[in-house]
C-alpha cells in the first residue's frame, strides 16, 4: 500500500503543474492520445480490453504492430486472463476505463506489475472517470475506487512513473460543446463541477523507485 505521507511530495509536485482540474487540457476522447502514441513495430498490451475493439484501430496504424490483450472476462478471447501470466515486455500499455473497477490495493498492485512489464522508455495510457463530474463515476455498480487526477497521478509518480501529461475528455455536438465552454463554463467553475467525463494520464516508465510502502 502507498501511504499518504509518502504521497505528499508527489501530490505537491503534481499540483504545482496542474493546480486544478481546470488546468487539464480538454480533448475529445482517450483514443486521441492513444492513437497519437502508436507507431510501427510497437508491442502493445491492452489491459481490460473487453471485446478488443481497439485492436483494429491500433493495427490500422501499421500492420507490424504486435497487439496483445488481457482481461479477466473469459467471455472474450484474450492473450492473457491474468497479469501474472504475462512474461513479455511492451512499448505501450493501455488501460481505458478499467482501473476504477478494482479496490485501491489492487490499483496499486496493477500499476506496480505494469511497470515491470514495460520496456525501457515505454509509455502507459490510462483513463478513468472524472470524479469532478456529477455522476460519471456512479453510473456503474461495478465501479469501486474513485480516483482524482492528482491522487492517481501521485500514486503513479510514487511507483516510479514519469507523468507526461494529464487530460480531460469531453465529446459532444459542436453547439453543446460551445455552450459548455462559454455560457456554462463560469457556473461549472463556481460549483466546482466538471462536464468532462474522464481523465486520461499519459506516463512513461521512470528510473525512480517503484516499491510501495
- The angle subtended at Cα 136 by Cα 130 and Cα 141, nearest 5°, is 120
Range of the domain at 120: 4-205
Does 115 reside within a domain? yes
pLDDT of 211 reads 54
Residues paired with residue 67 on neighbouring β-strands, in sequence order: 44
Split at pLDDT 50, 70, 90, the class of 6 is confident
Does 70 reside within a domain? yes
C-alpha closest to that of 44 among 29, 30, 34, 32: 34
Does 178 reside within a domain? yes
List pLDDT tens digits, range 54-82.
Answer: 999 999 999 899 999 999 999 999 999 99
C-alpha closest to that of 124 among 166, 83, 82: 166
Give me the number of domains the chain comprises: 1
8-state DSSP, 117: T
Does 56 reside within a domain? yes
List pLDDT tens digits, range 169-189.
Answer: 999 999 999 999 899 989 999
Does 211 reside within a domain? no
Q: Provide the whole-model pTM.
A: 0.92
- Residue given cell 512489464 in the structure block: 117
- Residue given cell 511492451 in the structure block: 90
Report the alpha-carbon distance of residue 157 to residue 148 in Å, rounded: 14
List pLDDT tens digits, range 82-98.
Answer: 999 999 999 999 999 99
Sheet bearing 90-96, strands edge to edge: 25-27, 161-169, 198-205, 118-129, 90-96, 43-47, 66-70
Other residues' Cβ atoms within 10 Å of the Cβ of residue 81: 14
- Judge contact between 164 and 202, C-beta under 8 A: yes
List pLDDT tens digits, range 98-156.
Answer: 999 999 999 999 999 999 999 999 999 999 999 999 999 999 999 999 999 999 999 99
118-129 vs 66-70, strand pairing mode: unpaired
C-alpha closest to that of 155 among 166, 139, 143, 144: 166
Does 210 reside within a domain? no
Does 213 reside within a domain? no
Does 183 reside within a domain? yes
CATH number of the domain enclosing 40: 3.40.50.150
Amino acid at each position: 500500500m502507498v501511504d499518504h505521507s509518502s504521497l505528499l511530495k508527489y501530490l505537491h509536485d503534481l499540483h504545482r503543474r496542474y493546480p486544478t482540474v481546470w488546468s487539464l487540457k480538454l480533448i475529445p476522447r482517450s483514443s486521441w492520445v492513444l492513437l497519437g502514441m502508436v507507431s510501427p513495430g510497437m508491442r502493445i498490451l491492452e489491459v481490460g480490453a473487453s471485446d478488443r475493439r481497439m485492436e483494429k484501430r491500433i493495427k490500422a496504424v501499421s500492420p507490424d504492430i504486435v497487439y496483445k490483450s488481457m482481461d479477466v472476462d473469459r467471455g472474450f478471447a484474450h492473450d492473457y486472463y491474468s497479469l501474472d501470466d504475462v512474461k513479455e515486455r511492451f512499448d505501450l500499455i493501455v488501460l481505458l476505463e478499467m482501473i476504477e473497477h478494482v479496490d485501491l490495493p489492487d490499483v496499486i498492485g496493477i500499476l506496480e506489475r505494469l511497470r515491470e512489464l514495460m520496456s525501457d522508455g515505454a509509455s502507459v495510457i490510462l483513463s478513468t472517470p472524472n470524479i469532478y463530474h456529477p455522476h460519471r463515476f456512479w453510473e456503474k455498480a461495478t465501479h469501486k475506487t474513485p480516483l482524482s487526477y492528482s491522487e492517481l497521478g501521485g500514486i503513479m509518480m510514487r511507483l516510479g512513473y514519469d507523468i507526461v501529461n494529464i487530460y480531460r475528455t469531453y465529446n459532444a455536438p459542436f453547439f453543446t460543446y460551445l455552450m459548455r465552454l462559454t455560457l456554462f463554463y463560469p457556473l461549472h467553475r463556481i460549483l466546482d463541477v466538471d462536464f468532462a467525463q474522464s481523465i486520461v494520464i499519459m506516463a512513461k516508465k521512470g528510473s525512480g523507485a517503484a516499491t510501495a510502502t
